[in-house]
Amino acid sequence: MFSIGLSLLGSKNNKYSTSEQIKKVIDVIDFGVNKVDTADSYASTNSERYLSQILDFRPDVLVTTKVGGFLSNLPIPINEILINSRMYQKAQIIRNGGYFDFNPKIKPLDLEKNLIKSLRRLGVEHVNCYLLHGVPSLNLIDDFVNQMLILKEKGLTSNVGISIEKRMDIDLSWCDEVLIPAHLLEFYELLNAKVSIHGLFRKELRISENVGKRFLQLSSAGSVLMGSLNLNKYIEAEKILRHS
The Cα 174–Cα 151 span in angstroms is 13
Least confident interval from 14-18, 69-73, 101-105: 69-73
List of residues 6+ apart from 35 with CB closer than 8 A: 2, 3, 4, 61, 62, 63, 64, 128, 223
Distances (CA, A) of 81 to 8, 66, 89, 103, 232: 10, 19, 11, 18, 24
Domain ranges of the chain: 55-222+232-242
Tens-digit pLDDT profile for residues 30-56: 999 999 999 998 988 999 999 999 999
Residues in the chain: 244
pLDDT digits (tens, 9 = 90+) for 176-198: 999 999 989 999 988 999 999 99
Number of Cβ within 10 Å of residue 75's Cβ equals 8
Predicted local distance difference test score (pLDDT) of residue 138: 92
DSSP single-letter state for residue 142:
H
Q: How many CB atoms lie within 10 A of CB 44?
A: 15
Top mean-pLDDT range of 72-76, 81-85, 99-103, 124-128: 124-128
Per-residue pLDDT, 171: 95
Strands 2-5, 157-163: pairing is unpaired
pLDDT of 96 higher than 70: no
Q: How confident is the model at residue 242 (pLDDT cuts 50, 70, 90)?
A: confident
Alpha-helix residue ranges (DSSP H) falling in 168-221: 185-188, 209-216
Give the pLDDT mean for 85-93. Answer: 61
